[in-house]
Amino acid sequence: KIGQKSVKMPGYHLNLQGKVAFVAGIADANGYGWAISRQLCNAGASVLAGTWPPALKIFKRGLERGFGDKQLLADGSAMKFQGIYPLDVNYSEPEEIPEHVKGSRRYADVQDYDIRTCSERVKRDVGKIDILVHAVANAPEVQKPLIDTSREGKGPSQLE
């Protein structure tokens, strides 16, 4: 059980010492991104988080206060992120960000959150990453398998 004592599982002994992971899609201690990050930390990786800009302040505040047992690693220490970056995967380039988003109070004081600029910032800060995890939540408009879905929630036949 997450947050309880670590359970040894056969075939689950990974050594990721010296590896850097970027996990896109962490905004709280309840989702897949958090659970994956926790296991990467348990395996020795340094983990960077990519967080949706409107959730960034709340997530950082939660980390400062602590997430209790959900933050505990197998060795009893608290999980820590090597870095937390704002990331909105709706925008590949800064030029794609609409003015109404840039001016929104939900994005106030947040910069470099498009994919390209965020990745450049990560590269500048830590060099290369070894592991990339996509744990970004699905929007309600997504009705097809992710492999067949665009950013707008449309399948291939709807894009033409």
Segment 62-121, tens digit of pLDDT:
999 999 999 999 889 999 999 999 999 989 999 999 999 999 999 988 999 999 999 999
Tens digit of each residue's pLDDT (9 = 90 or more) over 38-64: 999 999 999 999 999 999 999 999 999
Q: Comparing C-alpha atoms, which of 48, 89, 85, 105 is closest to residue 36?
A: 48
User: CA 123 to CA 112: how far, in whole Å?
Assistant: 13
Helix (H, G, I), strand (E, B) or coil at 143: coil
| Residue 125: predicted pLDDT | 97
Residues 6+ apart with CB under 8 A from 143: 153, 155
User: CA 97 to CA 114: how far, in whole Å?
Assistant: 8
139 band by pLDDT with thresholds 50, 70 and 90: low
Q: Which residues does residue 6 pair with via DSSP β-bridges, in sequence order?
A: none
Helix (H, G, I), strand (E, B) or coil at 31: coil
Total H helices, total E strands in the chain: 5, 4
Helix (H, G, I), strand (E, B) or coil at 110: coil
Q: What is the mean pLDDT of the chain?
A: 84
